[in-house]
Structure formats: structure tokens, C-alpha cells
Amino acid sequence: MTDEIPTVACVVLNWNTYDDTADCLGSLFGLSYDNLNIIVVDNGSTDGSADRLADAFPSATVIRNETNLGFGAGMNAGISEAIRHDADYVTIVNSDIVVDDSDLISSLRSTIESADDIGIVSPRIIEYPETNSLWFEQGYVDERNGNASHLHSHRRVPNLRMHPVVDESPLSQRPTLLSNDYVPLCFAFIEAEIFEEVGLLPEQYFMYYEDIEFAKQVRERGYRIVTDASSAVYHRVSGSSDGDQSPLAEYYTARNRLIFVRERTEYGPMGVFVYVWWVLVKLVYTAVTRRFSSFKALSLGAYDGILGRTGKGRYP
């Protein structure tokens, strides 16, 4: 880097979500950072939103993918564009994120530059429009069985992680900077050199679990992944996938969890047992709640995971 203000590129992925993406871009253009580039990747939208976004935000760079390449490959198109234009930092932004702190980028940059071993910084993520509900603060992964979740929603569940790195002390006693096993790539501020060292986002998952594998690769290189609890953004939860219990989410979570365990962890009897137990519990729950489309999607996801199928699956 030079003495000039480092270049930050925000990469936003759009897929048939004009209203959410327009709100997101409007909030990004309200940021006060002086050297900010905004890149929109349209992932094969069929609703005309790519042209509408290009017209509404002429200062943004709009990249058009011919088809829906999935989250990893779609984002990689924008990340590659940012790196080609010598971005110092890349911010991965979900299209359903809203930012209301004009100094956010400056704050996250100060955090990542406070220690040489910080590679990724996430703000706290608050649900929107119900802004009193915390969606993400810390993420953990049990690498024996692929279980990944947000710590704050599991405080009373026994922690079975083999290598705990997440701070579980009471909130009042916790520091501003929180360690993570992973952060969801909703609003992730990343040193551009990370992509040169680790590579781009994994593309074989299509959606879900690419954030978990990418974080594992980053941590294996000796970098820390932190949450700056003094900053926050707002998130319309699962705006592009219709909820974490939708057939789309159930399919890819079931399939990709098993793929992650097989390819990136010590896959053994414990992992198999926990995965089978988890699938059975989910199947019973979806059956009892009469969510039969999710029951089908979960079954197909587990089946395709067993067969090792990757890339775009049976959904959407």
C-alpha cells in the first residue's frame, strides 16, 4: 500500500432482488469513505433488475453473468474485478444489507489495520426491520461434523467443538473485538492480499458453506477472523433464499454440510453419526410441522451429499 487512502471495493451480488439491492446500494453510496468503488454482479437475473440497477446507480460498475452461477462464483466475478483494479480491501456485501453508519468502512479499516494477523472483519449484524434482534455476533464450526452456527443463538447448548476459539464469556465482560471460527459473508471486510494467498471463494457449493470453507482456509494461513462489536449493519434475513428453512436452504445445507465434512475435516464415524442424527431430526421436524416441500428438499440434499454431487443442484 502507499500513503494514499487505500482503495476499498464493495461487491454486491444481485439475483432478482431489485428492491433489496437498490436499498443496499443506496446505503453504500451514503458511506463517507473517500476511495470507495462499488461493484454489482448480476447473477443471471430474469426480472430486468440488472438494467434497472445500472440506470439507478450509474457510478456503480455492473457485471452481468449470463446465468445464476451461485454465490461463490458470482461473488468471484466481482472480487476479480476489484483485484484487477488494485483494490486494497474487498468488502463482500449481501444484497439485503442496509448500512446506516457513514463511517463504517473507516472503522472496519482501522480494525483490520490494528494487527497484522487480522484477515477478515465483520460488524455485528442486526435483523431488519426488527432492529432489536441480533442475527450475528460470533460464528463457530465443529469441524468433526460440519455443524456451523451463530454462537449467540446457542448459548445454552453444550459446545462440542474440538478446537474452541470463540469467546463465550458473558456479554458484559467481553471485549469489542471478538474471535470467530467463521463469519457469514453478509458484510465481510477482507484484506485483498488474502485472495492472492488463499484463493477466491470456493465455487463447488453453489450456495451455503462456501463461507465456512473459505474461513477455514484463511485460519489455516494464520489469520484471525474477528467481529468488531462496536460496528453494525442491518440484514433482511435470507432475502434471496426465502428463509433458512425454505426448500432451497434445506437442500443446499444438507448437501453441502456433508461435502464440507468429507473434503475439509477429519471425516470419521463421529462425523457420520452426527450428520445422520441431524438429518433425521430435521426430517422429523419438517414432517411434524407439515413442511413437506422442505422434507423433500432435505432428503434430496442428503442423498446428493452422499453421492458427492457439487455445483448447482436441484434448486432453484
The mean pLDDT value of the chain amounts to 89
Number of structural domains the chain divides into: 2
* Nearest-10 crossing angle of helices 18-28, 49-56: 20
Q: Please report which helix (H) or strand (E) contains residue 238, including its range.
A: none
Domain end residue (candidates: 235, 263, 297): 235
98 forms beta bridges with 234
Phi–psi pair at 133, nearest 5 degrees: -110, 120
82 and 203 assigned to the same domain: yes
Could you report the per-residue pLDDT of 246-266, keeping only the tens digit for each?
999 999 999 999 999 888 777
| Overall average pLDDT of the 189-194 stretch | 97
Joined together, the cell numbers standing for residue 262 give 468429507
- How far apart are the C-alpha atoms of 57 and 39, rounded to whole Å? 10
49-72-239-12 Cα dihedral, nearest 10 degrees: -50
Integer angstrom CA distances of residue 69 from 19, 36, 118: 21, 26, 30
Place of cell 422434507: 295
| Overall average pLDDT of the 38-56 stretch | 97
Residue numbers of the domain that contains 293: 247-307
- How far apart are the C-alpha atoms of 90 and 26, rounded to whole Å? 18
- Predicted local confidence at residue 224, as pLDDT: 96
pLDDT surpassing 70 at residue 2? no
Joined together, the cell numbers standing for residue 221 give 494461513
Joined together, the cell numbers standing for residue 121 give 472483519
Domain end residue (candidates: 196, 212, 235): 235
Least confident of 32-36, 136-140, 238-242: 238-242
- Predicted local confidence at residue 158, as pLDDT: 39
Residue 316 lies in a domain: no
Residue 240 lies in a domain: no
| Overall average pLDDT of the 12-31 stretch | 97
pLDDT surpassing 50 at residue 154? no
231 and 275 assigned to the same domain: no
- Predicted local confidence at residue 261, as pLDDT: 87
Place of cell 446457542: 154
Phi–psi pair at 39, nearest 5 degrees: -120, 125
26 and 86 assigned to the same domain: yes
pLDDT over 90 percentage in the chain: 76
Phi–psi pair at 220, nearest 5 degrees: -65, -20
Question: For the domain that residue 153 is a member of, what is the CATH number?
Answer: 3.90.550.60
- How far apart are the C-alpha atoms of 267 and 258, rounded to whole Å? 9
Joined together, the cell numbers standing for residue 3 give 500513503
- Predicted local confidence at residue 244, as pLDDT: 65
